[in-house]
Amino acid sequence: MRVIFLSCLLSVILIRCAAQEKTPTPQWRPVYHFTPEKTWTNDPNGLFYFDGFFHLYFQNNPFDNVWGHMSWGHAVSKDLVHWQHLPVAIPEVVKKDSVISIFSGSAVVDSHNSSGFSKNGESPLVAIFTGDLPKQKKEAQYIAYSNDTGKTFSFYTGNPVIDLNRADFRDPNVFWYEPAKEWVMTVSLVHEHKIRLYGSKDLKAWTILSDFGPAGYTGHDWECPFLVPLPVNGNSSKIKWVLFVSCWGDKAPYIQYFTGDFDGKNFHNDNSNKQILTVDNGDCFYAAIPWRLEHNQQILIGWLVPGNTATNPWRGQMSIPRDLSLRNTNEGLRLFQQPASIIRKTLSALSAGRNNTWKHIRINNKILMPTGIEKYTGNAYWAEATFDVKKTSKAGINIAEDTTNNHKIAVGYDVNKQLLYIDFGVAGKRYKSVENILQTAPLKSINGKVKIQILLDKSSLEVFGNDGEKVISAMLYPTANETGISLFSEGKATVERLSLWDLNRTGEK
Q: What is the pLDDT of residues 372-409, one digit of tens each?
A: 998 888 999 999 999 999 999 999 999 999 988 889 99
d(CA 283, CA 332): 25
CB count within 10 Å of CB 257 equals: 18
Neighbour-count burial for 186-207, b at 16+ CB within 10 Å, e otherwise:
bbbbbebbbbbbbbbebbbebe
Number of domains in the chain: 2
Same domain as 360, residue 335: no
d(CA 507, CA 475): 19
DSSP 328-355: EETTEEEEEEEE-HHHHHHHHHHTTTSE
Q: Which amino acid is at 412?
A: G
DSSP E strands, 115-234: 125-133, 138-146, 154-155, 162-166, 169-177, 182-189, 194-200, 207-212, 222-232
Same domain as 332, residue 297: yes
Q: What is the pLDDT along the chain (509 residues), one digit of tens a residue?
A: 655 445 445 444 444 444 446 899 999 999 999 999 999 999 999 999 999 999 999 999 999 999 999 999 999 999 999 999 999 999 999 998 899 999 999 999 999 999 999 999 999 999 999 999 999 999 999 999 999 999 999 999 999 999 999 999 999 999 999 999 999 999 999 999 999 999 999 999 999 999 999 999 999 999 999 999 999 999 999 999 999 999 988 989 999 999 999 999 999 999 999 999 999 999 999 999 999 999 999 999 999 999 999 999 999 999 999 999 999 999 999 999 999 999 999 999 989 889 999 999 999 999 999 999 988 889 999 999 999 999 999 999 999 999 888 899 999 999 999 999 999 999 999 999 999 999 999 999 999 999 999 999 999 999 999 999 999 999 999 999 999 999 999 999 999 999 999 998 754 43
d(CA 344, CA 432): 30
Same domain as 333, residue 371: no
Q: Which amino acid is at 358?
A: W
Give domain status of residue 214, yes or no.
yes
CATH code for the domain in which residue 426 is found: 2.60.120.560
Same domain as 221, residue 195: yes
Same domain as 389, residue 462: yes
Give domain status of residue 407, yes or no.
yes
Cis peptide bond prior to 160, omega within 30° of 0 = yes
**pTM for this prediction:** 0.95
Cα pseudo-dihedral 376, 381, 386, 389, rounded to 10:
70
d(CA 488, CA 412): 9
Q: Are 398 and 497 in contact (CB under 8 A)?
A: no
What are 89-139's pLDDT values in tens digits?
A: 999 999 988 999 999 999 999 999 999 999 999 999 999 999 999 999 999
Same domain as 242, residue 205: yes
- Domain end, chosen from 341, 362, 385, is at 341
The helix/strand/coil state of 107 is strand
What are the catalytic residues? 43
Same domain as 389, residue 282: no
- Domain end, chosen from 314, 341, 368, is at 341
Mean model confidence pLDDT for the chain: 95
Give domain status of residue 495, yes or no.
yes
- Domain end, chosen from 341, 369, 394, is at 341
What are 157-201's pLDDT values in tens digits?
A: 999 999 999 999 999 999 999 999 999 999 999 999 999 999 999
Q: Which amino acid is at 139?
A: E
Give domain status of residue 26, yes or no.
no
Same domain as 221, residue 96: yes
Collect all residues with Cβ–Cβ distance below 8 Å to 85 and sequence separation of at least 6.
36, 37, 74, 75
DSSP E strands, 213-284: 222-232, 235-248, 253-262, 267-269
Q: Are 261 and 230 in contact (CB under 8 A)?
A: no
Q: Which amino acid is at 133?
A: L
CATH code for the domain in which residue 70 is found: 2.115.10.20
Same domain as 390, residue 269: no
d(CA 184, CA 141): 14
Same domain as 216, residue 74: yes
Q: Name the DSSP class of 14.
A: H
d(CA 409, CA 423): 6
Print the domain residue range for 420: 351-502
Same domain as 337, residue 372: no
Same domain as 366, residue 332: no
